[in-house]
Amino acid sequence: MNWREIYASKLKTPQEAVKIIHSGDTVLIGHAAAEPDGLVNAMVDYAVEQDLRDIHIVQQHDMGACKFFEPGLEKHFKYASLFIGARSRNYVAEGKGDFVPVFFNRIPDYVTNMDPAQVFLVTLSEPDEHGYCSYGLSCDFAKEAGERPGTKVIGAVNPNMPRVMGDNFIHVSNLEAIVESDEPIHEHGRPVIGEVEEKIGANIAELVQDGDCLQLGIGAIPDAVLKFLGNKKDLGIHSEMISDGLMDLYETGAITGKRKNIDKGRMVITFMMGTKELYDFVNDNPAICMKPVSYVNDPFIISQNDNVVSINSALQTDLMGQVCAETIGLKQYSAVGGQMDFVRGASASKGGRSIIAFGATTKGGTISKIVPFLTQGAAVTTSRNDVDYIVTEYGVAHLKGKSLRARARALINIAAPAFRDDLSVEFENRFGEAL
């Protein structure tokens, strides 16, 4: 059969396609923008109708409707998140689901070693003239999960999913079933860039030099920073994710990738979250190269480029430079994602630097993000041994290689003025001298 005949032979309705799922199976959901709502809805309806039990749902960052979270479905689904998002946050906090801490570069290893009876529900682009569908905006673990022997991939082929180049394709012959869908692809709005973000962006721009190879993390600040880099030259991109800000920077001509040692001239990325404008920009764009996260986020691979600068954010930092980027106390807010992958990769890169940037306060200036001690229960995301630069709107603290005393001093200097007196009292208690 040629690929068009294969495609026709595998084409099903969502309701027919999900009939391969049984009680006790593991169902992996496509990551972020690749979450196929229609297929997930059909699975939930089928599980309820057939009274299937203990379907093990594994998901990374949720962006879709996640019908399996509806009340009363707990007996049908056991849920595990690898990166908490807006919908999974309370579900997990309420004890209805679980969270699994795992570095992003190890997630392919995690998902390919799960239960052998595995079904993967994922949104794909339409096939090209050779019968290859692109994993589109989420290559990350999808490529390895899709190629794992025994995994049954149900592809929601969607004309709205861009065809994104790189090592990012699956042939229709490797799909267990195909459903056609024209759902809009999940979008993530542009961040609001206020006065605080402007100042942080300007502070970070001072640390970025022509020819640097950038990674941008998740959250408002990493995306906002890009607005301030338009006067740089020959920047390279090797980044776990990108959002709309990257597209704007690319259009200024600041990104050429000329000085990269590997993947020269191409922006290497493993997933994207943004608006339709970004999705149109990456569609069939040879400047973009999507690769599995086991490559993009491998600290050894990252360090092959010189002058890697990683830019990530955090929720809290203590006076030793321990960074919490994923919990508020015991509540899991997000996850480590690729933060440590890139902090370590940047650290091993010749001339590399890692930056953690955040507004000095939150909740309308009432809570300082620089604190004497992390809140009880908080997870340390970037350890004090790994931390390099911390940036707020009040300046830059360079912590790497500095003593605990020097770190505390540098961090208090970039805390919000309203909290500096209290932090100085802690400094004096700890080091026996005034700040």
6 vs 315 by CB, closer to ligand COA: 315
166 vs 222 by CB, closer to ligand COA: 222
Query: Which residues, 6 or more positions from 209, have their beta carbon under 8 angstroms from its beta carbon?
Result: 232, 307
In whole angstroms, the minimum distance from the beta carbon of 36 to ligand COA comes to 22
Q: How many residues bind ligand COA (CB under 6 A)?
A: 24
* Contact predicate 269/289, CB 8 Å: yes
Q: Residue 241 interacts with ligand COA (CB under 6 A)?
A: yes
Which of 328, 380, 404, 435 binds ligand COA (CB under 6 A)? It is: 328
* Contact predicate 384/358, CB 8 Å: no
Q: Residue 274 interacts with ligand COA (CB under 6 A)?
A: no
Strands (E) in 118-192, as ranges, are 118-124, 132-134, 152-157, 169-171, 177-180
Strands (E) in 76-147, as ranges, are 77-81, 98-99, 118-124, 132-134
Candidate segments 115-123, 327-335, 392-400, 408-416, binder of ligand COA by CB under 6 A: 327-335
Q: Residue 315 interacts with ligand COA (CB under 6 A)?
A: yes
Q: Is 114 exposed, middle or buried (CB count within 10 Å of its CB: 0-12, 13-18, 19+)?
A: middle
Which of 35, 263, 326, 386 binds ligand COA (CB under 6 A)? It is: 326
Which of 124, 325, 355, 412 binds ligand COA (CB under 6 A)? It is: 325
Q: Residue 219 interacts with ligand COA (CB under 6 A)?
A: yes
Candidate segments 27-35, 108-116, 363-371, 424-432, binder of ligand COA by CB under 6 A: 363-371
308 vs 315 by CB, closer to ligand COA: 315
240 is catalytic: yes
Q: Residue 25 interacts with ligand COA (CB under 6 A)?
A: no
Contact positions with ligand COA (CB under 6 A) in 368-427? 369
Query: Which residues, 6 or more positions from 8, have their beta carbon under 8 angstroms from its beta carbon?
Result: none
Cα–Cα distance for residue pair 306/213, rounded to 1 Å: 7
Which of 35, 240, 248, 388 binds ligand COA (CB under 6 A)? It is: 240
Nearest to 338 by CA among 191, 140, 168: 140
Determine which one of 240, 326, 428, 433 is catalytic: 240
In whole angstroms, the minimum distance from the beta carbon of 44 to ligand COA comes to 27
Strands (E) in 158-205, as ranges, are 169-171, 177-180
18 vs 142 by CB, closer to ligand COA: 142
Q: Residue 367 interacts with ligand COA (CB under 6 A)?
A: yes
Candidate segments 1-9, 161-169, 205-213, 313-321, binder of ligand COA by CB under 6 A: 313-321
Give, in order, the Cα–Cα distances in Å from 432 to each of 372, 405, 425, 427: 15, 10, 10, 8
Cα–Cα distance for residue pair 120/189, rounded to 1 Å: 27
In whole angstroms, the minimum distance from the beta carbon of 416 to ligand COA comes to 12
Q: Residue 332 interacts with ligand COA (CB under 6 A)?
A: no
Q: Residue 340 interacts with ligand COA (CB under 6 A)?
A: no
Q: Residue 294 interacts with ligand COA (CB under 6 A)?
A: no
Long-range contacts of 392-399 (CB under 8 A, 24+ apart): 392/200, 392/203, 392/357, 392/358, 392/359, 392/360, 392/416, 393/195, 393/196, 393/199, 393/200, 393/203, 393/359, 393/360, 394/199, 394/360, 395/203, 396/203, 396/206, 396/207, 399/321
Q: Residue 220 interacts with ligand COA (CB under 6 A)?
A: yes
Query: Residue type for 69, please?
Result: F
In whole angstroms, the minimum distance from the beta carbon of 239 to ligand COA comes to 8
172 vs 225 by CB, closer to ligand COA: 225
Q: Give 381's DSSP letter.
A: S
Which residues are known to be catalytic? 240
* Binding footprint of ligand COA on the chain (CB under 6 A): 217-221, 240-241, 312-316, 325-326, 328, 333-334, 337-339, 362-363, 367, 369
